[in-house]
Structure 1
Amino acid sequence: MDGRTRELLHHDVLSVLPNRAHDLARLRELAGGGEPIVTVIGKYNHGKSRLLNELVDRDIFAVADKRETVKLSVWLHRGVHWLDAPGLDADVGTEDDRHALQAAWLQADIRLFVHAAKEGELDAKELALLEELRMDALRTGRQILFVLTQIDQLAEDELEKVQAAIHGQVAGTVLHAVSATRHRQGVEGAKTLLVEKSGIRPLRAVLNEALSRVPDARAYELRLLFGEIRDELEELQARQAQALESLRRNQIQQRQRFDEGLDTVLDKVGRGIEEVVDAHVPDHAVIADAAQDKYQVTRAKLERARIQIAYSRACIHIDAFLVGHGVVGLPKEQQIAAGSLNTVMVAVMGVSVKFREDLRSRFCAVPGRARMHREFARYYELSEDREVLRAKIAGGEAAIAATKQALAALRVMEAAA
C-alpha cells in the first residue's frame, strides 16, 4: 500500500474517531515493520546517551554535562534500532519533551526508563510517566525496563536506600542497576570485575530476551489496536443507527399528530360554519349595496358581517392550532414588503369572506377541506422545527455513512498489515 492511500484510510478513521489519533499513528509505525526499536527515556542528564553507547559498544550518542540530545537520534546495531531521545524537562519550551514522548509512545517496542541513582527517588513527573508506561505495557504488550543509572556515584548503603525508596514508590518494579562509567573503564582497562559490577551484561541479557519477544508483541498489539478501533466503530455505528431511527420515528409521529390535530380542528370549525351557512333565512349577503345604502345598516351588510365573524372565529381556532406546532410566518423566499401579510393564515385563507357559498366551499366541502389541509401541511413541513429535525436526520445519515466508510478503511488497513 502506498503512502497516499494509507493517509486517506487513516483520515477516514480519524475523522470519525479523533480520540484514536495516537493508536492510528502507532498502527502506522507497526505497519512499517522493520527492526525492533529500543528507546531510552528519562530526564535530562540521567545518563541515557552514555548507557546507549555501552549497549552498542561504540560512542555513537553525544555525551556531555550540558544538553546535547535535542532531537531523536537513531543507530542501527545488530538488527536493532537504538533510539536516543531528548531528556524530559531539558527544554522549557517542551520541544524536547515532544520528541521524547514521540519516541516512547509511537516508535518504541522496548522502553528503557532511565533514572539516575544520585537523584534519589522519582519525582512526580517521572512517577506519572512511569505509571502511564506500565499501564500501556499491560494493555499492548510493549515492554518496559527500569534502568537505574550512575550507581557508581553512590556508596553501597546509599544505593540500597535509593532502591528501597523507589520500590516503595513503584512496588513490583524490577530495577536494573548499571554504571556506564564502570563498564567503559572495565572494557578499556580489561578489568573483568568492573565490567561485572557495571550491570551492563545482565541488562543486555534481559534486553536480548525482550527483543526475542518483539515479533509476537507487535502481532498482539496489531490485533489489539485493530480490534479496539473496530469495536468502537461498530458500537458507534449501533448508537448512530438507534439515534437516527429515533429521529425518523419522531418525524413520523410529529406529522401524524399534526395531521390528526388539524383534522380535528377543521372538523370543529366546519360544524360551526355549517350552522351559519345552513341558517334558514334568506342569504341577503348576495344582494349588492345600492348607492343610497352607503351609510345605512342593511340586511346585506349584517349578513356579510355575520359571515365574516364566523370566518374569523374559524381562523382563530385554526391559527391557535398552527402556532402550537410552530407554523406562523412564511418562509423568507415568500415574504413581501407588507409584514402583516407574511403569515401562513393569510397565505392559505386570505383576509375575508363575504358569502355563505365561500364558507361552504372552504370549510364544508371535501375539496375545500382537503386543500386547506394540504396547504397547512406544506407550510408545516417548511416550519423551522421541521427543518431542524430534517437537518438532524441528514446529519445522522452522514455520520452513519462516515462510520461505515471508516470501518471499510479499517478493514483495508488490517488486511494490508
Structure 2
Amino acid sequence: MRYSSTSSLAEESATGCGDHEAALRDLQRALPHRALDLARLRELADDGAPVVCVIGKYNHGKSRLLNELVRRDAFAVADRRETVELAECHHAGVCWLDAPGLDADVGQEDDRHARVAVWLKADIRLFVHAARQGEFDAAELALLHQLRADEIRTLRQTLIVISQADQLADDGDLGQVVGAIAGQVPDAALYVVSATRHRQGIETAKTLLIQRSGMPQLEGAIADALGRVPAARSHEVALLLREIRDELEGLRSGRAQALEALRQEEENQRRGFDQGLEGVLGKVAADMAALVGAGGPDLAMVPDTARDRFAVTAAKLERARIQVAYSRACIQIDGFLVGQGVARLPRDQETATGSLNTVMVAVMGVSVKFRADLHRMFCEARGRARLHAAFAHYFELSKRRTALRARIAEASSALEAAARALAALQVLEPVLEPGP
C-alpha cells in the first residue's frame, strides 16, 4: 500500500472523523502547534496493529532489512534511491513501514512521508545506519537525540540497527565502527546485523550463518518492544490529553486575565476622561463666573453705530472681554481633548472645509457668543453636562478608543475560542482514547 500525499500531517490523519470534525477543528485553531499531537491521538484512537518503522538514510539497507523481518520481498530494493513514498506491509500482526531516506531535501514530498512515518505512525522505530559509513553524522545524531527524548516522554521505543555488517573487511574493522558509534550514543543498545547473511542462512539452512547475521537478536528485541506497545500507547494518550488540557486551561485563564485587564483599561480610560473633563469645565466655569455674573445689561449686545466705527466703546470693550474669556476657555478644553486623542472628527463626519473638521467646532459651533451664552454653556450645570456628553461622544469615536475596543473584541474572541476548544476536548476524549 502507498500513502497519497496531503498538505499537512493533521490532514493525513483527519479523514473519517465524521461528526467530530468541528470539535477537532476547534482544537486545532486554539492550538495550531499541537497539530501533530492531535493527529497522533487520532492514530492511537484507531487502536490498530502496532507499527514498526525503519528510518535512516537511503541506501543504508532499510528495505532489505524489512524484507528479512517480514520473511518475503515486500519492499523494493535497489542500489539507487527506490523508496520515495511511505510503503507498508502487514506481517505477524504488525504493520511494517518503510520510510523514504532521511537525507531527503527539506520541504520535498518524500521528506514529508518520512516525518509522517517517524512522528505520526510509528510505535517502534528501527534507526538503521550502514556500518560501512562509519560514525553517525550530525544530522543522524540530532534525530537520534530527538527520538530518545521522545522515548522518555511517550515511551515510544527506538532501536538502533547497524546494518550491512558483512560489507566491512573483517570483524576488527566492524568492532572499531561499532565502538565509535557506541561512544556517540552512550547507554544505547546497538543491534549489528547483516540481512545478506540472514538470507543466505535461510536459503542454505545454515543456523550458524543465521546467528552470525544478528537478526535473531534484533527480532527478539523487536518482540520485546512489541509487548510493551499497549502500555506505551495508553501512556501516550494520557500524556497528550493531559498536556493539551493543561495548555488549554492555561490558555483560557491567560486570555480571561488579558480580557479583564483590557476591560479595566477601558473603564479606567473613560473614568480618567470624565474626571479630567469635569475638572477642566469646572475651572472654566470658575474663571467665567466673574465675567458673566456681573450685573446690568450685556453691553456686548449693544450695536455699534456708524459714528462708533473707529471709536472705543463700552460695547466693543465688552465684546473683547467676552471673546478673550471664551477663547481661553476653548484653549483649555481643546488642550485637554488633544491630550486624550480627541481632536479631529471621524472621517465619515468630515466636511469639505478642513478647518471645520474639529471636535471643538462640532460641539461649540462657530457662532458669536455673548454673556448669556457663556453663562448657559459653562456656569449652569445643565450646560456643562451637555458639553460633557458631546465631548464624551467624540471621545468614544476617537482612534485610541476604537483601537482599544477592537483589542477587547479580539481578546473576547480568543477567550471564546479557548473555551470552545476545552468543550471540544471533552467531546473528543472518549473518541481519542483507545479501546480496551
TM-score tier by shorter-chain length is over 0.9
Shift of 1:4: 4.0
Shift of 1:178: 1.0
Which shifted more, 293-302 or 392-401? 293-302
1:67–1:90: 8 Å Cα contact kept in structure 2?
A: no
**Structure 1 match to 2:370:** 355
1:311–1:353: 8 Å Cα contact kept in structure 2?
A: no
Shift of 1:265: 0.7
**Structure 1 match to 2:161:** 147
Q: C-alpha offsets along residues 253-285 of structure 1, whole Å, 9 cap, x if unaligned?
A: 111111111111111110111110122454212
**Structure 2 match to 1:229:** 244
1:289 aligns with 2:304: yes
Q: TM-score, normalised by structure 2?
A: 0.92
* Aligned counterparts of 1:190 and 1:114: Cα–Cα separation in 2: 26
1:16-35 paired onto structure 2 within 5 Å: 16-35=30-49
Q: C-alpha offsets along residues 26-80 of structure 1, whole Å, 9 cap, x if unaligned?
A: 1121122211110000011111111111111111111121121121111111111
Aligned residues: 417
Q: C-alpha offsets along residues 75-109 of structure 1, whole Å, 9 cap, x if unaligned?
A: 11111101111122256874322212211111001
Shift of 1:301: 2.5
1:185 aligned to 177, 197, 200, which one? 200
* Aligned counterparts of 1:180 and 1:292: Cα–Cα separation in 2: 123
Shift of 1:136: 0.9
1:113-192 paired onto structure 2 within 5 Å: 113-154=127-168, 155-192=170-207
Q: Secondary structure at the match of 1:74?
A: strand
Q: Secondary structure at the match of 1:147?
A: strand
Shift of 1:182: 0.9
* Aligned counterparts of 1:304 and 1:130: Cα–Cα separation in 2: 89
1:380–1:386: 8 Å Cα contact kept in structure 2?
A: yes
* Aligned counterparts of 2:284 and 2:367: Cα–Cα separation in 1: 16
* Aligned counterparts of 2:18 and 2:292: Cα–Cα separation in 1: 76
1:328 aligns with 2:353: no
* Aligned counterparts of 2:51 and 2:278: Cα–Cα separation in 1: 74
Q: Secondary structure at the match of 2:37?
A: helix
Partner AA of 1:19 in structure 2: H
* Aligned counterparts of 1:275 and 1:351: Cα–Cα separation in 2: 24
Shift of 1:326: 0.6
**Structure 1 match to 2:318:** 303
Which shifted more, 319-328 or 151-160? 151-160
**Structure 2 match to 1:415:** 430
Q: Secondary structure at the match of 1:34?
A: coil
Q: Secondary structure at the match of 2:288?
A: helix
* Aligned counterparts of 1:412 and 1:406: Cα–Cα separation in 2: 10
In angstroms, what is the RMSD of aligned CA positions?
Answer: 1.6
Shift of 1:289: 3.2
Which shifted more, 299-308 or 397-406? 299-308
**Structure 2 match to 1:262:** 277
1:107 aligns with 2:116: no
Partner AA of 1:74 in structure 2: E
Q: TM-score, normalised by structure 1?
A: 0.96
1:72 aligns with 2:86: yes
1:233-252 paired onto structure 2 within 5 Å: 233-252=248-267
* Aligned counterparts of 2:129 and 2:21: Cα–Cα separation in 1: 37
* Aligned counterparts of 2:265 and 2:363: Cα–Cα separation in 1: 27
* Aligned counterparts of 1:307 and 1:345: Cα–Cα separation in 2: 18
Which shifted more, 252-261 or 392-401? 252-261
1:285–1:354: 8 Å Cα contact kept in structure 2?
A: no
1:59 aligns with 2:73: yes
Partner AA of 1:260 in structure 2: Q
Partner AA of 2:236 in structure 1: E
Shift of 1:293: 3.9
Identity of aligned residues (%): 60
* Aligned counterparts of 2:104 and 2:314: Cα–Cα separation in 1: 101
1:308–1:352: 8 Å Cα contact kept in structure 2?
A: no
1:392 aligns with 2:384: no
Partner AA of 1:251 in structure 2: E
Partner AA of 1:114 in structure 2: V
1:307–1:353: 8 Å Cα contact kept in structure 2?
A: no
Shift of 1:292: 4.6
* Aligned counterparts of 1:231 and 1:128: Cα–Cα separation in 2: 29
* Aligned counterparts of 2:383 and 2:104: Cα–Cα separation in 1: 83
* Aligned counterparts of 2:34 and 2:400: Cα–Cα separation in 1: 35
Shift of 1:286: 2.5
1:318 aligns with 2:333: yes
Q: C-alpha offsets along residues 312-333 of structure 1, whole Å, 9 cap, x if unaligned?
A: 1111111111111111011112
Q: C-alpha offsets along residues 197-226 of structure 1, whole Å, 9 cap, x if unaligned?
A: 111112111111111111111111111111
**Structure 2 match to 1:50:** 64
* Aligned counterparts of 1:225 and 1:93: Cα–Cα separation in 2: 27
Q: Secondary structure at the match of 1:148?
A: strand
| Structure 2: gaps of 5 or more residues | 1-14
Partner AA of 1:248 in structure 2: R
